[in-house]
Amino acid sequence: MMLTRRRLLKFGASASLLALAPVGLGTAWAQKAPDFGAPASLVIHTSAGPQRLQVEIADTPAKRQYGLMGREQLDKNAGMLFVFDGEQSAHNGFWMFQTLIALDIAFIDADGRIVAIETMPPCPSTSPRECPAYLPGAAYHTALEVNAGYFAERGIELGDCVAAPGMAGSCAPS
């Protein structure tokens, strides 16, 4: 889940996170899960060969805000691709409030290259202000969440190319 800097500051956090919807903080996780539609195919081109995933697409503010909250599991070769209309700041990131499973996240630039990877454990707190923010430290256009350990197990690294329907980048495989 993502938050705006203003909302974080209001709730006592210090990191800046992504603004996704004008929904009040208290209603974000009380909402019914949005319909993400049929999964799309995604390929990560690595030096060890292509890695294929089926991903749900979070391409609206409501979908991006809800993300993978409340899910008790994610299939082995599944994930969620967060697609934004424009470049996101290096200081905008994600948090794990009410997300029940540990996740890896890859932040992907306009060319489709992975610019940052983070592992995000669930936040056990019932208070959103106690959940850490995961910031990429680099500008990005999309972000990919998968089960924790997925990237390391498959040798996926910074600079690898991600290709999926609707992604702006056109990087060639490494």
List, in order of start, the domains of the chain with CATH numbers.
Answer: 5-22+37-163 (2.60.120.1140)
Asked if the model's pLDDT at residue 139 lies above 60, the reply is: yes
CB 121 within 8 A of CB 148: yes
Backbone angles phi, psi at 70, to 5 degrees: 80, -5
Can you tell me the distance from the alpha carbon of 6 to that of 92, in angstroms, rounded to the nearest whole number? 12
**Percent of all residues in the chain with a pLDDT value above 70, rounded to a whole number:** 77
pTM over 0.75, yes/no: yes
Q: Which two tokens stand for residue 43?
A: 């390929």
What pLDDT was estimated at residue 172? Answer: 55
Tokens, residue 123: 């936040």
Strands 114-120 and 161-163: unpaired
